[in-house]
């Protein structure tokens, strides 16, 4: 694959996607957004990939939207803006669509849409140098597209505070709010992220996919009906080769060899 704005590599069942416009602080340009979405889809379709890392090149994770592209919107007709706006939301739908866990490795400032990427990720680990925040209102914008993910991460009251104040917060406060799960010293971020990804990738890929399915499918489901759905989904696990292998490996005190079936 020939990407212009990101780097994509696979090693040890882990796909690492690096936003690669460091001189611009990795803004979510139209091209970068499209390429990031395509890279995530590619990794999710690859049976050899069991976890996805998203990080930024240079000192920033992502500075969010690109102001130069925003200026171009002033002269575009409404139908074009509507079409492009719908296309730009496809990236942020992926968090609920993929079955491969996404880990955000927040190496520096993640503002606006960058905060949205962190909130969309299934696990987020941050450098102690990271800064996060919904800074859009300071520019006369509203964080429309990312609002659902940030609300899910921090709750209604805090997302309202973040949106209306447009303030940046440090990594520890982001952890307190629930935006990130872990904060580590900056020079340990890559090592800690890789250890986390390898941990996830070491599990049965089928069980991980079923777990992702169970989480997102039942989230908006009627509470009582969710038990019926999960009982049905459990049958797949009970008849899987991976469960048989996992049980045998445990009894034989050896590492399992997953087939993903």
Give all strands of the β-sheet with 131-133 in edge-to-edge order.
110-111, 131-133, 169-170
Give, in order, the Cα–Cα distances in Å from 7 to each of 40, 54, 59, 85, 205.
Answer: 12, 10, 16, 25, 24
Q: Which of 35, 87, 136, 252 is catalytic?
A: 136
| Cα–Cα dist 182/175, whole Å | 7
Count CA atoms within 13 Å of residue 100 on its CB side: 24
Whether 136 sits among the annotated catalytic residues: the reply is yes
| Cα–Cα dist 111/139, whole Å | 12
Residue where the block lists tokens 């406060």: 173
Strands (E), the chain: 6-11, 14-19, 27-28, 51-56, 64-65, 102-106, 110-111, 123-127, 131-133, 169-170, 182-184
Show which residues are catalytic: 136
């Amino acid at each position: 694959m020939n990407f212009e704005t990101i780097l994509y590599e696979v090693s040890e069942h882990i796909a690492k996607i690096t936003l690669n416009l460091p001189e611009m602080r990795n803004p979510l340009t139209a091209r970068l957004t499209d390429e990031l979405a395509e890279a995530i889809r590619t990794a999710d379709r690859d049976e050899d990939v069991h976890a996805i890392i998203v990080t930024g090149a240079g000192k920033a994770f992502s500075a969010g939207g690109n102001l130069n592209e925003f200026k171009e919107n002033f002269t575009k007709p409404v139908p074009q803006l509507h079409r492009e706006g719908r296309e730009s939301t496809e990236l942020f739908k992926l968090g609920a669509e993929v079955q491969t866990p996404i880990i955000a490795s927040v190496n520096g400032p993640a503002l606006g849409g960058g905060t949205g990427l962190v909130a969309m990720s299934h696990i987020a680990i941050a450098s102690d140098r990271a800064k996060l925040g919904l800074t859009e209102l300071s520019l006369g914008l509203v964080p429309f597209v990312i609002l659902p993910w940030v609300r899910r991460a921090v709750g209604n009251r805090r997302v309202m505070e973040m949106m209306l104040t447009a303030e940046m917060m440090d990594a520890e406060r982001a952890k307190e709010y629930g935006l990130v799960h872990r904060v580590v010293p900056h020079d340990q971020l890559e090592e800690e992220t890789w250890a986390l990804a390898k941990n996830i990738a070491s599990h049965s890929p089928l069980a991980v996919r079923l777990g992702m399915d169970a989480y997102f499918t039942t989230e908006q489901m009627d509470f009582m009906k969710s038990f019926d759905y999960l009982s049905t989904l459990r049958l797949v696990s009970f008849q899987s080769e991976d469960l048989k292998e996992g049980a045998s490996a445990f009894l034989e005190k050896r590492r399992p060899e997953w087939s993903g079936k």
